[in-house]
């Protein structure tokens, strides 16, 4: 049980002894970490919440609760302001909890996800177009949510719903037939496929007839034409290899890789069932889903207000030419995930610009009886230094690989200047780790819905709110242990007395409280903030409390705190898919 839930239980027991049971109906008595340590470690507004229902004065109610509250030496309890109940955890409690955490491989994190299947749909680039930096947010956030879910005990299924079907293939096939360079394809598949895609794109912009030819190639592919299918297979194969290299480099993997094409032969039946149930009907030769009419128009994703009039805003599920699209595939995908995987929750980690698509998709899924919780885990845009969406000099979207390479180059320069490591090979390895970690951490330390600008110098810096700062904190801890002559025995009780060491223990205990909240609103940035705060607490502690120069039980306690901090940093960064070096 976490410290905060222990306090909640004590509070609830006290309240039950005072307030009539019916006053407690529908009320959650919660305890929260206090924002300001002057008011204790934790705080509850329970008395204020209950006062009205119990027809009592909040402050008096708080006094009665405190009197009844059995704190069992865990904390001191006091009252502030109109009736806040403050809990100040004692040094003994922190000493005991820190010692417990050292023996707990879960580091205090409860398994809150047991029995629940969580599908994380993320990354999902469009095959034959390389992943660009927009996909970076999805890849990093999605991978982290999967790791967090797994650690919390959920049955997690990560799925890369790659765009391996559709319009772009008509274009790539068109260009492939005219210009494919087999050598380039083997050497750098993603770049060659991008070249073909751009070639077709430019050509069709210049000539409407070519646009038609591209569409024809797609129709042939979808009708099973042998030559086009063979080209498509090779495209997909090459793209997957190219993507695989990037995922390896990012240490990202998927349980499933069911792209859009996987659902192809289910789409006709989906559209039929939509029509049969009256959700979809013909509109100008296309088949469209319209409003179910149950929602207020303002909330109905199938309605749009144009000049003061509410109009239909349908979702096309079969195009006039008979082709199916992104939306149709997504409906089939939900059916599959519910039926085959028993999904309880499905997360879609996708750019917020697709919110209309997901609002419509979720609405129609619910109308068709989908039971799973469907969540669009949306995110904003990555900006360049000038505050506009990040672009290359030629105005294209930057490729993910280039961004990673740039980060590693800057990290390599820092390593050259600052690291004590001698071998060039080791330096290269460290720079690769720092560069990639920096890109990941920068992403995960921002609120996913906010736009953020990409500053390579800042994100690889050793000082500041960065991955290298956290990695350096870890390395510093490891170096303390290297300096010891023997491996110390850290088991048994701890005695913490100095404010800086008590504060570090306080932060360590909060790990188990923070991690389960990360999936409340899918906000890994709360963990990033926490880890930075933990590292800062460690550095203050390390300055205030000599470790190597102390002796006996004091040294043992201090070493134990170092060890615990190191373990939490490693585990916490691990939930971001970031590993820690032994030296920097």
Give contact residues for ligand ARG (rule: CB under 6 A): 121, 124-126, 161, 163, 330, 333, 348, 350
Give the residue with the Cβ less far from ligand ARG, 330 or 501: 330
> What token pair was written down for 32?
């929260």
Q: Minimum CB separation from ligand ARG for residue 125, in Å?
A: 6
Give the residue with the Cβ less far from ligand ARG, 192 or 330: 330
Give the residue with the Cβ less far from ligand ARG, 401 or 414: 401
Q: Minimum CB separation from ligand ARG for residue 192, in Å?
A: 20
> What token pair was written down for 67?
């009197």
> What token pair was written down for 72?
């069992």
Neighbouring CB atoms inside 10 A of 500's CB total 18
Give the residue with the Cβ less far from ligand ARG, 143 or 330: 330
Chain position carrying tokens 């000082």: 463
Give the residue with the Cβ less far from ligand ARG, 389 or 499: 389
- d(CA 162, CA 109) in angstroms, rounded, equals 33
Q: Minimum CB separation from ligand ARG for residue 205, in Å?
A: 21
Q: Minimum CB separation from ligand ARG for residue 55, in Å?
A: 52
Q: Minimum CB separation from ligand ARG for residue 335, in Å?
A: 13
Give the residue with the Cβ less far from ligand ARG, 128 or 561: 128
According to DSSP, the β-strands at 286-289 and 303-306 are unpaired
Q: What are phi and psi for residue 448, nearest 5 degrees?
A: -60, -25
Query: Please, which residues bridge with residue 119 across strands?
Result: 157, 346
Collect all residues with Cβ–Cβ distance below 8 Å to 40 and sequence separation of at least 6: 34, 75, 76, 78, 86, 87, 88, 89
Q: Minimum CB separation from ligand ARG for residue 333, in Å?
A: 6
**Residues, the chain, total?**
584
- DSSP structure class, residue 463: S
Chain position carrying tokens 């038609």: 212
Give the residue with the Cβ less far from ligand ARG, 163 or 468: 163
Give the residue with the Cβ less far from ligand ARG, 221 or 434: 221
Q: Minimum CB separation from ligand ARG for residue 338, in Å?
A: 14
- Where residue 284 falls (left for φ over 0; alpha for ψ -120 to 50; beta otherwise) is left
Q: Minimum CB separation from ligand ARG for residue 126, in Å?
A: 5
Neighbouring CB atoms inside 10 A of 32's CB total 13
Query: Please, which residues bridge with residue 304 across strands?
Result: 311
Q: Minimum CB separation from ligand ARG for residue 263, in Å?
A: 10
Tell me what percent of the chain is helix, strand and coil, each rounded to the nearest 5. Answer: 55, 10, 30
Classified as helix, coil or strand, 287 is strand
- d(CA 558, CA 477) in angstroms, rounded, equals 11
According to DSSP, the β-strands at 286-289 and 315-318 are antiparallel
Give the residue with the Cβ less far from ligand ARG, 109 or 378: 378
């Amino acid at each position: 049980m976490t410290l905060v839930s222990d306090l909640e239980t004590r509070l609830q027991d006290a309240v039950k002894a005072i307030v009539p049971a019916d006053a407690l109906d529908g009320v959650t008595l919660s305890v929260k970490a206090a924002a300001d340590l002057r008011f204790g470690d934790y705080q509850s507004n329970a008395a204020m919440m209950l006062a009205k229902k119990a027809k009592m004065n909040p402050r008096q109610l708080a006094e009665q609760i405190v009197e009844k509250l059995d704190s069992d030496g865990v904390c001191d309890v006091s009252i502030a302001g109109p009736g806040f109940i403050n809990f100040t955890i004692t040094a003994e409690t922190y000493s005991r909890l820190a010692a417990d955490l050292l023996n707990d491989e879960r580091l205090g994190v409860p398994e809150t996800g047991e029995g629940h299947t969580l599908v994380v749909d993320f990354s999902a680039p469009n095959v034959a177009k390389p992943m660009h930096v927009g996909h970076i947010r999805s890849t990093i956030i999605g991978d982290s949510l999967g790791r967090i879910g797994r650690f919390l005990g959920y049955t997690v299924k990560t799925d890369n719903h790659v765009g391996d079907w559709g319009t772009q293939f008509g274009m790539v096939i068109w260009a492939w037939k005219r210009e494919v360079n087999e050598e380039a394809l083997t050497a750098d598949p993603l770049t060659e496929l991008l070249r073909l895609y751009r070639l077709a794109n430019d050509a069709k912009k210049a000539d409407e007839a070519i646009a038609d030819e591209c569409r024809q190639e797609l129709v042939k592919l979808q009708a099973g034409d042998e030559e086009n299918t063979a080209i498509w297979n090779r495209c997909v194969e090459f793209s997957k290899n190219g993507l695989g290299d990037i995922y390896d480099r990012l240490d990202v993997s998927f349980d499933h890789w069911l792209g859009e094409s996987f659902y192809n032969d289910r789409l006709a039946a989906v559209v039929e069932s939509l029509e049969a149930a009256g959700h979809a009907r013909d509109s100008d030769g296309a088949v469209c889903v319209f409003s179910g009419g149950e929602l207020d128009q303002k909330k109905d994703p199938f309605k749009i207000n144009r000049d003061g009039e509410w109009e239909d805003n349908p979702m096309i599920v079969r195009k006039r030419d008979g082709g199916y699209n992104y939306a149709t595939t997504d409906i089939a995908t939900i059916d599959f995930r519910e039926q085959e995987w028993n999904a309880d929750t499905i997360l879609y980690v996708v750019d917020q610009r697709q919110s209309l698509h997901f609002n419509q998709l979720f609405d129609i899924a619910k109308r068709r009886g989908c039971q799973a919780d469907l969540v669009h885990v949306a995110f904003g845009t990555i900006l360049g230094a000038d505050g506009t969406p990040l672009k290359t000099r030629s105005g294209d979207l930057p490729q993910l690989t280039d961004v990673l390479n740039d980060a590693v180059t800057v990290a390599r320069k820092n390593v050259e200047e600052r690291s004590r490591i001698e071998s060039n090979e080791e330096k290269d390895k460290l720079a690769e780790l720092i560069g990639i970690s920096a890109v990941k951490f920068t992403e995960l330390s921002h609120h996913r819905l906010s736009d953020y600008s990409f500053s390579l110098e800042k994100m690889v810096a050793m000082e500041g709110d960065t991955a290298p700062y956290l990695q350096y904190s870890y390395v510093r801890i490891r170096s303390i242990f290297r300096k010891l002559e023997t491996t110390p025995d850290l088991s048994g009780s701890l005695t913490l007395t100095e404010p800086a060491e008590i504060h570090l223990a306080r932060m360590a205990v909060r790990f188990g409280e923070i991690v389960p909240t990360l999936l409340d609103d899918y906000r890994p940035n709360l963990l990033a903030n926490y880890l930075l705060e933990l590292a800062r607490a460690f550095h203050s502690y390390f300055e205030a409390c000599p470790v190597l120069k102390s002796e006996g039980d004091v040294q043992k306690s201090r070493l134990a705190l170092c060890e615990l901090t190191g373990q939490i940093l490693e585990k916490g960064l691990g939930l971001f898919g970031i590993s820690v070096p032994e030296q920097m």
